[in-house]
Amino acid sequence: MYASVQHWVETAPDREALAFGEQSWTLAQLDYRVRQAAGALRAAGIKPGDRYAVLDKNHPACVELTLAASLIGAVNAVVNFRLSEEELVHVLGDSTARLAVVGEEFAPALRGLKHRLPQLNEVIVLGGEDDQYEKWIAAAEPVTDPYPAEPDDCFLQLYTSGTTGWPKGAMLTQRSMSAHTKGLVSAYDMDESSINVVAMPLFHVGGTSWALGSLSAGARTIIVRDVVPAVLLDLIERRAATHAFFVPTVIQMLLSDPDRARVALRSLEVLGYGGSPMPAPLMEHVLSTLDTPLYSVYGMTELSGVFCVLGPDEHRDDTRKYLRASAGRPLPGAEVRVVDPVTGEDAAPGEVGEFWVRSEQAMAGYWHMPEATRDTITPGGWLRTGDVGRRDTDGFLYIEDRVKDMVISGGENIYPAEVERVLLEHPGIAEVAVIGVPDDKWGETVKAVVVPADGAEVVQADIITFARERLAHYKCPTSVTSVAELPRNATGKLLKRQLRTRFTT
């Protein structure tokens, strides 16, 4: 993976490669720091195949350490700083990290957990008055003899969001990340003239893969530590950034002052979004406010990032506005099947099934979880995404739901997302989650768990009637429960497993 960056070091060593706040590094300086970091890791006893961890908000050191892992055959396990204590113990323990680089603000919490992590031998504080990282790498001899990595060697381990259990460590390899970088650079026209903003967390593929993509293209990469809308707009305008990727929530925040956003974002040639669907009202607001080319991204950790894109022409095609709800079409090199989750047969165009993907971008598997790996990657090399949706006759994919959330009632497949979309039209409902609950007659029936809108009172009979006026009766809830809030994990994703445990046991 590092060879693609090394190419630019040899071609344009004095060009800016990385920026963070008021600091910046040329390609030659970045190369030296990466080699120093690799040397420091070797001196600490990190060998090929060993794991170490980074626990911090976005910081260039995380990128340096990922590239250093590629150089010495080790693995950087980037940890979500938003995790609870129990989740942190699980992820750090599962990773078998022997060394951790931790941001100053998270160091006290990690020290408090260290007695539960016997394999963690060394903790290096990053940032602040007590910074140890700079001294640590400065004291090391730069690596000049890189490890002879094989294509299937893992060098980056990112953890899934854990919506159906503990987070799982997806092993991303030299092959998978190189394939992803090639597809990303081509899809978004990144080159050495590009200026790319990395604001999404580096513990996510939307952060690290986005950063590695621009570095591999020889572009300038700007790391953003915290998403503060006014500061982010100023940065994009001041640096005349050409590329950025955000989740829809961030885009909504940036457009809270449309006139300011229109001016600040005018340099962008690519505005990518993903992680969750963009609500239709926000989509209309973006398209009417900005002239920026808009790209929808469908990707996942297990595929090293994006594998499907909806481009700017489709976003602004007024004759086919329905495409704005699409996840786009697969990138070159990514094969996609739509498989009926019950029969295992390929679904016809327009019919719903699970998306299976075969691509060199696929992970090697889940770290220390062979059974979960076998459940996810078929003997034929197809990666089961767990996402349910359909493909139209033009090849566009539409995501409907998650396979594990599907409800089977009286032999009929019911996808909760469809029911949730309808129920959210009810003025008395602010949030809703639909699950299946046991039923003696039908096997399962639909239950709606709702958060009332401010000042509203949820009446079960009214909600059921509302649904029956808009959906086939077998899809409608047979019971409705009101709650103050829905359970979510550290990244904000809904935890339906907790609802199932609460309402089915």
At 263, the pLDDT band (50, 70, 90 cuts) reads very high
Pairing, β 16-20 against β 220-223? parallel
Question: Higher confidence at residue 400 or residue 148?
Answer: 148
Q: Are 423 and 432 in contact (CB under 8 A)?
A: yes
Q: How many CB atoms lie within 10 A of CB 401?
A: 23
Tell me the one-letter amino acid at 126.
Answer: L
User: DSSP string covering 314-356, please?
Assistant: HHT-GGGGGGGGS-BEEPTT-EEEEE-TTT-SBPPTTS-EEEE
Q: Band of the pLDDT at 343, cuts 50, 70, 90?
A: confident
- Digit-coded pLDDT (tens) for 426-461: 999 999 999 999 888 788 899 999 999 999 998 999
Per-residue confidence (pLDDT) for residue 164, from 0 to 100: 57
Q: Which of 32, 21, 33, 31 is nearest to 223 (CA)?
A: 21
pLDDT mean over 397-420: 83
What letter represents residue 287's amino acid? Answer: L
Please give the domain boundaries of the chain with CATH numbers for all domains: 2-226 (3.40.50.12780), 331-403 (2.30.38.10), 406-504 (3.30.300.30)
Quickly state the pLDDT bin for 82 (edges 50, 70, 90). Answer: confident
**By mean pLDDT, which of 199-203, 276-280, 350-354, 418-422 is the weakest?**
276-280
Residue in the block written with tokens 């739509």: 338
Q: Are strands 16-20 and 23-26 parallel, antiparallel or unpaired?
A: antiparallel
Two structure tokens written together for 116: 């539960």
Could you tell me the two tokens for 362? 């696929």
Tell whether the model's pLDDT for residue 86 goes beyond 90: no
- Mapping DSSP to helix (H, G, I), strand (E, B) and coil, where does residue 484 land? coil
Backbone angles phi, psi at 265, to 5 degrees: -100, 10
Q: What is the mean pLDDT of the chain?
A: 93
Amino acid identity for residue 404 in this structure: K
Share of the chain above pLDDT 90, in %: 81
Tokens of residue 306, six digits: 């994006």
Phi, psi (5° rounding) for residue 280? -55, -45
d(CA 109, CA 114): 9
Q: For residue 283, give the H/E element and its range.
A: helix 280-289
Question: Residue 236 above 60 pLDDT?
Answer: yes
Query: What's residue 490's pLDDT?
Result: 63
Residues 6+ apart with CB under 8 A from 143: 35, 38, 39, 42, 68, 71, 72
Measure the CA–CA gap between 322 and 290, rounded to whole angstroms.
20
Q: What is the C-alpha to C-alpha distance for residues 391 and 300, in angstroms, rounded to an integer?
A: 18
293-300 own/partner pairs: CB under 8 Å, 24+ apart: 293/268, 293/269, 295/187, 295/188, 295/270, 295/271, 296/272, 296/326, 296/327, 296/328, 297/206, 297/245, 297/272, 297/273, 298/274, 298/327, 298/328, 298/397, 298/399, 299/205, 299/206, 299/274, 300/205, 300/385
Please check the confidence at residue 10 and state whether its pLDDT lies above 80: yes
